[in-house]
Structure 1
């Protein structure tokens, strides 16, 4: 089996290698306030050049999710309540990032 290009890890210890949009949607849906408040998507390597996180926002701040995408030292943060949209966006965004060992153009 090929090495994964990236992975999604949740606070409660779940890990999915090369997660599909559906898998990310399910992981986002599994977030809760009892100890599984975030997940991180990143290359499967030490010191990754990019990452994204999805965190539950406090109810007092309107709930929903905060999504932070990082490339090198640049960060972009958005808030939304649309778990489907987050999963779709992160799938496309992650696929567009460089992955060591992946053939160019894939």
Structure 2
């Protein structure tokens, strides 16, 4: 049987980094959205410009919603990895305590 080693500190660090990536991506996405807001009236106010502007706004809103959800999910995945490290550590501690209790009864 091969030995399994879980590097809990690496899991915590990786999870924290992943959470930070999600937060940073969301902030940059908001900044980008603010920059392109200046172009919202660029299509003109005639019939074609109004149609293009409406389609652009719909597509832009949908796209930013998708990217925003992705940023949130990346952050949530990082939090999940940190929680997984905590859970593995707790399970290891509980198993060690249980084995020590058994050893104490056998002695």
TM-score band by shorter chain is under 0.3
More helix by share: 2
> Which has the greater radius of gyration?
2
- Of structures 1 and 2, the one with the larger relative CO (CA 8 A, separation 6+) is 2
